[in-house]
Chains A and B, each alone.
Chain A
Amino acid sequence: MTLPWLTVLGLIPIVGALLLCLPVFKHVGKVVGLAFSLLTFGVGSCVTVLYLGGLNLNEQISWMPAFGTYWALAVDGMGLLLVLLTATLVPVVLIAEWNIAERIQQANPEAKRWDGRAFFALVLLLEGLCLFVFMAQDVLLFYLLFEATLLPMYFLIGGFGGSRRSYAATKFLLFGLVGGLIMLVSVIGVYVWSETEAGNPTYLISELTKLDTGATGSLLMICFLVAFILKAPMVPVHVWLPTTAEEATPGTSALLVGIMDKMGTFGMIKICLALFPQESINAAPVMITLALISILYGGLAAVSSPNLLRLVAYTSVSHFGFMVLGIYTFTSVGMSGSIFYMVNHGFSTAALFLALGYLIKRGGSAKIADYGGVQKVAPVMAGVVLVAGLSALALPGMSSFVSEFMVLAGAWSRIPWVAIIAALGMVLAAVYVLRMYQRVMTGSLESELATKIGVDLDLKERLIAGFLILVILVLGFVPNLALGIIEPTAVNIVGVLGLSDPMPQLGGK
């Protein structure tokens, strides 16, 4: 029997999280936690090598026979890259938030809060669940894990956030539960549907794709879709994200927006498009409209946001609009771009959140108005913020440029005017990033702020920022590293829909 690589990959961080709860690790908990996250990264790399080597990694064990559900894991190009993204970002965040408990203690000495070990354990738990979500090949399994990720994130926000953390955590959880329960309708419906169609209920995605979608197909697809729209926050249901990002610590926000929200777009592709192709095509006009609204509204809201963290949250709303646009224009170029964007956006948002986190930690405020001229005292930090911002505005050379360009190219080949409107989002991106940089980093520096900011980034902070920027640049200059893995998957996904594919070749990029 071969090693069940994927199960092992997901279990490592979960086991790590459980171990951290033992009192034995009271003093070395954080080191152990980091070790587990690095081990996960190592196994993730092994899985990548094995996948590229053509090894069959699929696992399928009957789990709840009465439901027709399986412990079924597999990766395709999209899943693999998201797994890698998760496995890479988590150690980075753990290192970045190493002193989180001390920092909170310092900011608010009288409140007794949780220690750093709890943060590490929750992050690892979240990592394990996210990894399983990206590998799940069974609808019920996907749903269970999708819901389960809410809890560690809820405690991360509620346990380590700012002053209104309880409110933000509840808002996050409620929106999550709304989505989850709407999806539950579909999950139950899929059971009834598969029982009617196939005679024997099943939740395996590979089995369900063979079935005729039947009379309830539209209802089921819509419920799934609503849940995913809530997760990858699109206007008008994005309202939980800015609140959450504002209250959570930057590390938590990086995980939330960088990884967890990808489950939304991931689910659209993995479940909506795969199980309900015709219904998805019918839904495309609505989705494209929502995507355009998200792109523009997110951009405008980011321009006018007075708060740095809210600003980043709104940029993400805008970027999720691009991803959804790529998905629902149904071209292999747009789809590849969209999947690539999910990965890029993870790194780029994490860089932005962490860089601004450094600033906020020193300045003690997330209000843009409280800053000015920071680059005079902390040039390296200003540089990091600038590069992360440029990545968010998709400057050529940054990885997000490639993906945004592909999404727009895909949209252009399907419906040109959509691409034109979406391109306005790129203009807005330039406005909000550069304005933010101008107001925070340039201008005159007040002496009070200068003392607060004090020293520039230390070695650890530089290493983290440098690493993320390196990833962004490498993927920007050699996008084929990732696109090579994505492309076959994207072609498959679009192929299922049975539409003409206006620009099937990716060559020459």
Chain B
Amino acid sequence: MTIPDPVFEWLELSPVLVVFVAACLGVIIEAVVPRKARFYCQLVLAEISLLSSVGFLVFNGVRGAWGPLAMKAVMLDGPAFVAWLALLVFGFLALLVFAERKINAGATAFAALASAVPGSATESEAIAQRREHTEIFPLALFSIAGMMVFVAANDLLTMFIALEVMSLPLYLMSGMARSRRILSQEAALKYFLLGAFASAFFLFGIALLYGYSGSFNLARIADSLGFSTMNRGLLLCGIGLMAVGLLFKAGVVPFQFWVPDVYTGAPTPVTGFMAICTKLAAVVGLARVFYVALGAERWSWQTLFAVLAIATMLVGVILALTQTDLKRLLAYSAISHAGFILTAVVGAYQNVAAGRVNAFGSIIFYLIAYGFGIIAAFAIITTVRDEGGEATRLQSWNGLGRKNPLLAGVFAFLLLSFAGIPLTGGFIGKWEVFASAWAGGFWWLAITAVGFSLVAAYVYIKVIMAMFFEEPDETVVVGKASLFTWIPVAIGALATLYLGIFPEHLMELVSNLQIFLR
């Protein structure tokens, strides 16, 4: 048996490679560069790598370099392109928030020495001597690179590896909060254990699908549907198990248990990063597997996903109602958003006229609109503080509108976007996914989702009410943050407004880049 030389399209793959290389360089920097210079080295390296990756990506896009890459392991098609672009932009904004140090008296939001046991002598020594580590930057880069491969993976094995590459750094990053370290580590452990389970399910699903179709390649799997001589049970079990792995990452009920704990325990900048980047990667990966490989089998999974979508929206909005902590509240809201997005996945609406968005187009639009909002929202959360650090109890936010009308106004605006109130990006996103579900034949699901949007809206209004109509809590102040926080906030808020008023620019881009290649 001969093994052919692997063909590797360096230029086409450059956006991913740049990020990977930068992540590796980051590890070396952590080892060799003097401690004082390390922080800025890491930051500049990370941000420049993301920007240059965008440059390579756009260059490839303009060149029209579409098609399978790296021996068909990766597919550079429209959806991969938009997802990469979104991941890079959101990664860029999130890393800016990572770099905020002014607000916390010169320290980042991350543990000085993450490997030290909380409360131990080593830890206090590290803090006293300001032995700060900056491994968070290379970790984030590894994670972003993993996500990029994940959304573009054209065969299931690549996808699995990418899933691990994106997940492992996330587990670590969740455990690195500077304050409330035990809580943070608990969150990381939970995330890791459940994530490992989900990965195992995913892998098992891959094995069964391979057994059914004889291939890992998505297109080959699609071709085998209906023609395989193997037992159909293999296929159905494979679909189910793979769905578990993917839905876990997206935070869909009944695999949502990790979301509130991890969102709350993780350092807030990391939460912002996870809230959009992980979700985006998971949903795009889900769409790719189920549309490209299993599209012909949609009758088997549409109803199941419809039920899960309803359950997710239900759990997300109802439990969000009862939360008293802002980060938990946004975590449950993130669950409900996963449900809203799932409605369009279920609709699987494909045959659209030119210039219109199909199911994937509406999903990615929703994710982008949500992403700008959620990164800005978590960045704002880092600025509201009392003596114990971030004040995330809902009560602490009482009367914020009087202390800092601008900040509260922006936050209220972002919440309105999450609620889907018109003239925000969130509204257009909701409109699109619901329209897509309806056009795909699931009008009852669209109507149910609208109903849940209402309950969800009440959740956000409760926060707005507390901010504007309650008497302020005097112990809570809005900390003085640097531009590292304000730039993402400003960009997020302006993008939310822009997408709400002039959605057609993004929509045009998305409508040209919404067809999966196989």
Contacts and interface: CB of A to CB of B under 8 A. Distances in A.
Interface of A: 63-67, 111-112, 143-145, 147-148, 151, 155, 158-159, 165-166, 169-170, 173-174, 177-178, 181-182, 184-185, 187-189, 191-192, 195, 199-201, 216
B515 interface: no
Contact of B507 (A64, A143, A174, A182): A64
A66 B435 contact: no
Nearest to B440: A192
Contact of B421 (A151, A174, A187): A151
25 contacts: A65-B504, A66-B503, A66-B504, A66-B508, A66-B511, A147-B422, A151-B421, A158-B468, A158-B469, A159-B468, A169-B465, A170-B465, A174-B461, A177-B461, A178-B454, A181-B450, A182-B450, A184-B431, A185-B446, A188-B431, A188-B438, A189-B443, A192-B435, A192-B439, A195-B439
A147 B421 contact: yes
Contact of A169 (B438, B469, B502): B469
Contacts of A187: 431
Q: Chain B CB within 10 Å — which of A66, A159, A173 has the most?
A: A66
B131 interface: no
Contacts of A66: 355-357, 503-504, 507-508, 511
Contacts of A143: 422
Contacts of B511: 66
Contacts of A112: 402
Contacts of B447: 185
A164 to B, nearest CB: 11
A453 B511 CA distance: 66
A77 B367 CA distance: 43
A414 B353 CA distance: 46
Interface in B416-469: 416, 421-423, 427, 431, 434-435, 438-439, 443, 446-447, 450-451, 453-454, 457-458, 461, 465, 468-469
A169 B462 CA distance: 11
B469 A166 contact: yes
A112 B405 CA distance: 14
A158 B467 CA distance: 12
Nearest to B471: A111
Interface in B382-419: 402, 416
Given A66-B504, A66-B508, A184-B453, 15 more contacts: A65-B355, A66-B511, A67-B431, A151-B421, A158-B469, A173-B461, A177-B454, A178-B454, A184-B434, A185-B447, A185-B450, A188-B438, A192-B438, A192-B439, A199-B353
B457 A177 contact: yes
- Classify chain B's interface size: 35 or more
Contact of A148 (B353, B423, B451, B453): B423
A151 B457 CA distance: 13
Contacts of A184: 431, 434, 450, 453
A198 B423 CA distance: 27
B423 A144 contact: yes
A181 B293 CA distance: 35
A439 to B, nearest CB: 34
A189 B421 CA distance: 18
A148 B324 CA distance: 28
Nearest to B421: A147
B69 to A, nearest CB: 30
A366 to B, nearest CB: 21
Nearest to B500: A144
Interface of B: 353, 355-357, 402, 416, 421-423, 427, 431, 434-435, 438-439, 443, 446-447, 450-451, 453-454, 457-458, 461, 465, 468-471, 502-504, 507-508, 511
A165 B508 contact: no
A179 B258 CA distance: 35
B422 A144 contact: yes
A502 to B, nearest CB: 38
Contacts of A192: 435, 438-439, 443
Contacts of B450: 181-182, 184-185, 188
Query: 3 tightest A-B contacts by CB?
Result: A144-B422, A66-B507, A166-B469
A193 to B, nearest CB: 10
B395 to A, nearest CB: 15
B451 A181 contact: yes
A211 to B, nearest CB: 16
Contact of A166 (B457, B465, B508): B465
A143 B423 CA distance: 11
Contacts of A148: 421-423
Contacts of B454: 177-178, 181
Nearest to A141: B422
A188 B461 contact: no
Contacts of A170: 461, 465
A66 B461 CA distance: 30
Contacts of A173: 461
Contacts of A191: 435
A220 B465 CA distance: 32
A170 B503 CA distance: 29
Contact of B504 (A64, A159, A169, A199): A64
A160 to B, nearest CB: 11
Contacts of A185: 446-447, 450
Nearest to A166: B469
A109 to B, nearest CB: 14
Contact of B453 (A65, A155, A181, A216): A181
A184 B420 CA distance: 11
A185 B453 CA distance: 11
A151 B423 CA distance: 12
Q: Chain B CB within 10 Å — which of A67, A174, A189 has the most?
A: A67
A384 to B, nearest CB: 33
A195 B358 CA distance: 13
Contacts of B502: 64
Contact of B434 (A159, A188, A195, A201): A188
Contact of B465 (A144, A147, A151, A158): A158
Contacts of B443: 189, 192, 216
Q: Chain B CB within 10 Å — which of A159, A181, A199 has the most?
A: A181
Contacts of A165: 469
Contacts of A182: 450
A208 to B, nearest CB: 16
A140 to B, nearest CB: 9
A169 to B, nearest CB: 7
A151 B357 CA distance: 30
A198 B416 CA distance: 33
B2 to A, nearest CB: 51
Contacts of B457: 177, 181
A147 B428 CA distance: 13
Contacts of B508: 66
Nearest to A183: B450
Contacts of A111: 471
Contacts of B468: 155, 158-159
Contacts of A174: 458, 461
A227 to B, nearest CB: 12
A67 B507 CA distance: 10
Contacts of B469: 158-159, 165-166, 169
B355 to A, nearest CB: 6
A145 B416 CA distance: 15
A106 to B, nearest CB: 19
Nearest to B472: A112
Nearest to A65: B504
Contacts of B421: 147-148, 151
A195 B507 CA distance: 17
A170 B464 CA distance: 10
Contacts of B355: 65-66
B422 A189 contact: no
Q: Chain A CB within 10 Å — which of B416, B422, B439, B447 has the most?
A: B422
Contacts of A67: 431
Nearest to A223: B447
A74 to B, nearest CB: 21
Contacts of A145: 422
